[in-house]
Chain A
Amino acid sequence: DAKTTQPNSMESNEEEPVHLPCNHSTISGTDYIHWYRQLPSQGPEYVIHGLTSNVNNRMASLAIAEDRKSSTLILHRATLRDAAVYYCILRDVPNSGYALNFGKGTSLLVTP
């Protein structure tokens, strides 16, 4: 899978929107952009994924740049429960191996 780059940490106030960036300049045309998060002492949790168009679900929104070299996970109103490590992962659907390469992710701190 192609490499992603994320900031090590970010901080947000509760009830404010959070924009978590991810750079993937070597993305290929068949790479899907997946986001997972891992709360402390829990297993990772699937958040959202997309290919070219922006995506929304009940948890978050995913904004994908027109050239697909970057994307942003948007939490519309951060809560204390959103404090977690967020992982941006590229998945080449036809050719991917079976492992999810989580990397180091972005540690999000949410303050009251």
Chain B
Amino acid sequence: SQTIHQWPATLVQPVGSPLSLECTVEGTSNPNLYWYRQAAGRGLQLLFYSVGIGQISSEVPQNLSASRPQDRQFILSSKKLLLSDSGFYLCAWSVSMPGEQYFGPGTRLTVT
């Protein structure tokens, strides 16, 4: 069966510090991968999606970036965090695009 991992589960970072969140999927090949963010009291916002290694599409311009160095690994990064980057970051995968998406446990980021 397929499993999706995200780490860390929680993170507190000061403004201006770098960020690296990692997501890995097990049990499937060539998944479509997604990064979402949910700010407090708001809906989910798609940040990035990827249909293959090295292929990244951005939905919303921001100071975040994403990379996919391996088929089942998706990384979300920032060089300098802003207060507005606080939120619940979710990684998801799907077999088809579009199709049902399966979400990881999430990383709760607080920028202080």
**Interface, chain A (partner B; CB < 8 A):** 34, 41-46, 49, 91, 93, 96-104
Contacts and interface: CB of A to CB of B under 8 A. Distances in A.
Interface in B40-78: 43-46, 49, 57, 59
Given A43-B90, A43-B92, A46-B100, A99 B106 contact: no
B100 A49 contact: yes
B103 A98 contact: no
B101 interface: yes
A98 B100 contact: no
A30 B27 CA distance: 30
Contact of A96 (B34, B44, B98, B100): B98
A101 B97 CA distance: 15
Dominant SS at the A interface?
Answer: loop
Dominant SS at the B interface?
Answer: strand
A100 B44 contact: yes
Given A44-B101, A96-B98, A98-B34, 17 more contacts: A41-B106, A41-B108, A43-B103, A43-B105, A43-B106, A44-B92, A46-B100, A97-B98, A98-B32, A98-B46, A98-B49, A98-B57, A98-B98, A100-B46, A100-B101, A102-B44, A103-B43
Contacts of A102: 43-44
A99 B100 CA distance: 11
A78 B21 CA distance: 35
A79 to B, nearest CB: 21
A49 B96 CA distance: 14
B105 A99 contact: no
Contacts of A42: 105-106
